[in-house]
Structure 1
């Protein structure tokens, strides 16, 4: 209290000297005094109060209108400080939230990590880039003791942390399956029960699961409402869309998933993707599936991993480096 009284006396003296002499050296002294106020957590509205007190003492009613304008300024500054404190609090909370989400995103990468298996007859490439920090897409590879390749690709209808948590649940559910003894349709049927029991009723998951058997070159697959992939037939030099049927995971408890199989020939190519690929934009319009095929075909001469990376870079640049969804692409080439 004593210090505030001294501040008022000093401020009043500086103000009087400045007004009477118009010497700018007093402005510099006022600035230094203001800096000392900052270090002592004296808010701007308190400085206005000190100013008003100095005006009242020096000039009384002669500055009445001016004093009322300062009262107006005082109220504005009080409201500003309260709002600014709330804003700074929200900024701090956002920083903390972003930090926590980044930690969660790093954990998700570790939890969902999958290695691309080495299979002599195949060249495999995969890329998955989240739209936000957390990825609502998921892909997974397995290699059975008999050399068969298992491949899954999934997409949560939704984004953010809930989608990421759902994908983590899918991953650990799949880890509990003995995949060698289960068909693609059986795996989807079991996953559907997991999702139906454990995921909110307004959240669904699409998924494609396939198994490739090197000894017979047979590819078996089933889909739970997932974005149709493509098969490139080298002999015909043409792409055909996987014609699959199946309800998305989590809608009905007892759902069966039709299973299909095809034979893969040398130089054929399996293309699996999420809707983040097919819903890329060219300007204001979505690209057509034919355009997706054109881009995939453009880089088909590259090894599989380079292939998927170049396709991603193409569409990312096409969309002005602002993709609107998680982007996941898998390409499997039969090289022998």
Structure 2
């Protein structure tokens, strides 16, 4: 289907926005594109002024500077191409294989030679940007690579001859060595754009000083330095500025890639741990609900998108007695599912000894608090149900209070709750409570994950909704009530994954 015709004014606005987004750098890629445009413009203007030099009567210094800038632009473009190669990236990543080092030395050695050939012969000396390549090689690859590139450029310059051959060759070799020493002193890190530019300016100043100290005759050397020092220092500094920017961009690019890869690895590891944790949690939840006379019982765990720490268990103690627990593990260091499994194992094992509810809670609390660094708490309801006498003795250590529907009065009551969870204090004082029930009374237990259920309007799920379901559907079986509660939660939530897992138990006295 064809798009409807746009308003010409809207089309113009859209075009201007696209042009603005292209011209204004918003990320590293755009910055590099912007830089290439500047380099190309500088090279073009230099070439133009060189061609027009005769008519414009430029001085020697200005003319030399323009030529060097033009050649610097060419070198920067070539160096940028080299910087995209695998061996250069390998050197940046400290992967100093023999192959990478040889290719690096050969490539930048060739650039150094080009810096000499593309120079301008003035009074037997060559105005050039030869030192740029060994300086860069040393700053990026260390002393051996810097020395290798410096030797290639320096030896080549020496055999070209001239009264400045020795100091110029020596300066080129030392440019690579000094760059490498800076690399070592900075512990293999690139010194940054400003540091690189300052180094380039100082190195070319040192180059001029060597000419004054070594080249003969001194008067000719002095004239050369007066004519060439400004253009060479400035041209090499500009070249270093551009290439240092490229290197910094590459380093940031690699850092971003490493962070991305690390994040993806962490994400995969986290996903794997979640799968394992969910399997652990699921394997420790009871698959079979005990079938006891005069008791209707149902339970469900609604998993979250991340593994949770809920567990529940039913432990038959005799024909008419059953221990039950529902708990939520909260931890800050150890995966909740593993602590859930450990706590559930301890509760089941200790329950078989048929202790009082408060005694079991104190025992479990001692185990959790033995290691003061565990930083874990356990919200737990634990009760011993006497089915024959329809009564329950229980403790509630910080757990969400269960709801009790009293069939005779049709009232909903909340069972007592102690504020302190297991694991929070060493010497736990917890009170044991008693509940007397009658036929058709219903208990609903839920973990605190139900409090994290929020609808699209930002409203939290309330226990009043559970109370309403109990009053309107008390004639249903425990299994049917569980279904109604699930339906109510997901209908309210409207999402696909819960933030926290929810465990529900419905217990109905027959």
TM-score normalised by L of structure 1:
0.71
Counting only pairs closer than 5 Å after superposition, residues 149-298 of structure 1 correspond to structure 2 as 149-158=322-331, 161-179=334-352, 181-198=354-371, 200=373, 202-245=375-418, 247-250=420-423, 251-266=425-440, 268-282=441-455, 283-298=457-472
Q: Determine if the alignment matches structure 1 residue 323 to structure 2 residue 498.
A: yes
Structure 1 residue 78: Cα displacement? 4.7
Q: Which has the higher helix share?
A: 2
- State whether structure 2 residue 299 is matched by structure 1 residue 126: yes
Corresponding residue number in structure 2 for 1:305: 479
- The whole-number CA distance in structure 1 between the counterparts of 2:305 and 2:357 is 30
Deviations 1:271-291 (A, max 9, x none): 111122244334323344323
Residue number in structure 1 paired with 2:278: 105
CA RMSD, Structure 1 to Structure 2 (Å):
3.9
Unpaired stretches in structure 1, ≥5 consecutive residues: 1-36
Measure how far apart 1:154 and its partner are: 0.9
> Match for 1:143 among 295, 307, 316?
316
**1:139, 1:278 → 2: CA distance?**
18
Higher relative contact order (CA 8 A, sep 6+): 1
Distance 2:324 2:491 in 1: 28
1:1-39: CA deviation from partner (whole Å, max 9, x where unpaired): xxxxxxxxxxxxxxxxxxxxxxxxxxxxxxxxxxxx99x
Deviates further, 66-75 or 99-108: 66-75
CA gap of 1:292–1:198, structure 2 versus 1, over 3 A, is farther
Alignment gaps of 5+ in structure 2:
1-83, 93-99, 101-106, 120-234
In the superposition, the TM-score normalised over structure 2's length comes to 0.49
- Partners in 2 of 1:148 and 1:43 — Cα distance? 72
CA contact (8 A) 2:327 2:399 kept: yes
Bigger proportion of residues as strand? 1
Counterpart position of 2:163: none
Task: Look up the SS of the partner of 1:169 in the other structure.
Answer: helix
Distance in structure 2 (CA, Å) of the matches to 1:205 and 1:41 = 55
Q: CA deviation at 1:43?
A: 6.4
Q: C-alpha displacement at 1:297, in angstroms?
A: 4.2
Contact 1:130-1:327 within 8 A present in 2 as well: yes
